[in-house]
Amino acid sequence: MAAPELEIIVDDPTAPDAASPAITDSAAVEIVVSLALLALAVTFGFDNWRTGIGWDTAGPEAGTFPFYLALILSAASLYGLVTALRARRRHRETFVTRAQLRRVMAVFVPTLLFCLATQFLGLYVASFLLISGFMRLVGRIAWWKSLLTALVFTAAMFVTFDIAFDVIMPKGPLEAAFGY
């Protein structure tokens, strides 16, 4: 008996061009990240020092444990900063190319807008807008397919979470109009 075969072909017309120029190198990003972590460690360390890192009647004060962690974090980030500065002199490794960054932004920006929309319009309306908009504008999928998919998925989520499992999501004016 021959097993039934099913051919699956998926194309990616907007795939990032392999020859696209690099935006920045990994060592540069490492330097920025190390500096940011260092700043975070110093801020946290200072706040914990202010809270108290000594010993009181109930044992070590609240800031003690995190204070020493902030010290460890700042030491490790300083070390990372130095190694990244050294590595950068030797050779540069691509962090992200322009074409890749464009694709990443094509997801990140809609996600950011989705979070904003959730805050003001509620999660379900935002979800409908994100899915239909993303499928149509980024995926170039037909309007009717995009709208239908978004509607079905959003409705399924609403039924699953808000009705079946009693997990209440943020709502906006639309749901209010329907009395939810």
Partner 1 sequence: MEAFGLLIHGFAVLLTWKILALMMVGLVLGIFVGVLPGLGGPNGVAILLPLTFTMDPTSAIVMLSSIYWGALFGGAITSILFNIPGEAWSVATTFDGYPMAQQGRAAEALTAAFTSSFIGSLVAVLLITFLAPMISSFALRFGPPEFFAVYLLTFCSFVGLGREDKHKTVISMSLGLLLAGVGMDTVSGQLRMTFGSGDLLRGINFLVAVIGLFGISEILLTMEERLALRGHAAGISLRVVLAVWRELPKYWVTLLRSSLIGCWLGITPGGAIAASFMGYNLAKRFSSDPDSFGKGRIEGVFAPETAAHASGTAALLPMLALGIPGSGTAAILLGGLMVWGLNPGPLLFVEHKDFVWGLIASMYLGNVIGLVLVLTTVPLFAAILRVPFAAVAPMIVVSCAIGAYAIQNAMFDIWLMLGFGVAGYVFKKISIPLAPLTLALVLGSRAEDAFRLSMIGSGGDVKVFWSNGLVGSITTLALLLLFWPLLEQAWGQVGRAWQAVTVR
Q: Report the alpha-carbon distance of residue 175 to residue 162 in Å, rounded.
A: 12
Q: Report the alpha-carbon distance of residue 172 to residue 152 in Å, rounded.
A: 19
- Which residues in 91-150 contact partner 1 (CB under 8 A)? 95-96, 100, 103-104, 106-108, 110-112, 114-115, 118-119, 123, 127, 130-131, 134-135, 138-141, 149
The nearest distance, CB 76 to partner 1, in angstroms, is 4
Number of residues that bind partner 1 (CB under 8 A): 81
In the list 39, 143, 160, 176, the residue contacting partner 1 (rule: CB under 8 A) is: 160
The nearest distance, CB 177 to partner 1, in angstroms, is 21
**In the structure encoding, which two tokens stand for residue 131, read together?**
């899915």
What are the C-alpha distances in Å from 167 to residues 126, 151, 157, 163, 170? Answer: 17, 20, 10, 8, 10
Three-class secondary structure assignment of 80-149: HHHHHHHHHHHCCCEEEEHHHHHHHHHHHHHHHHHHHHHHHHEHHHHHHHHHHHHHHHCCCCCHHHHHHH
Q: Is 24 in the site for partner 1 (CB under 8 A)?
A: no
Nearest to 53 by CA among 44, 99, 84, 136: 44
In the list 109, 168, 174, 176, the residue contacting partner 1 (rule: CB under 8 A) is: 168
The nearest distance, CB 179 to partner 1, in angstroms, is 20
The nearest distance, CB 96 to partner 1, in angstroms, is 7
Q: Is 35 in the site for partner 1 (CB under 8 A)?
A: no
The nearest distance, CB 152 to partner 1, in angstroms, is 11
Name 22's bridge partners: 97
The nearest distance, CB 54 to partner 1, in angstroms, is 10
Q: Is 19 in the site for partner 1 (CB under 8 A)?
A: no
- Which residues in 47-76 contact partner 1 (CB under 8 A)? 47-48, 51-52, 55, 58-66, 69-70, 72-73, 76
Nearest to 32 by CA among 66, 77, 99: 77
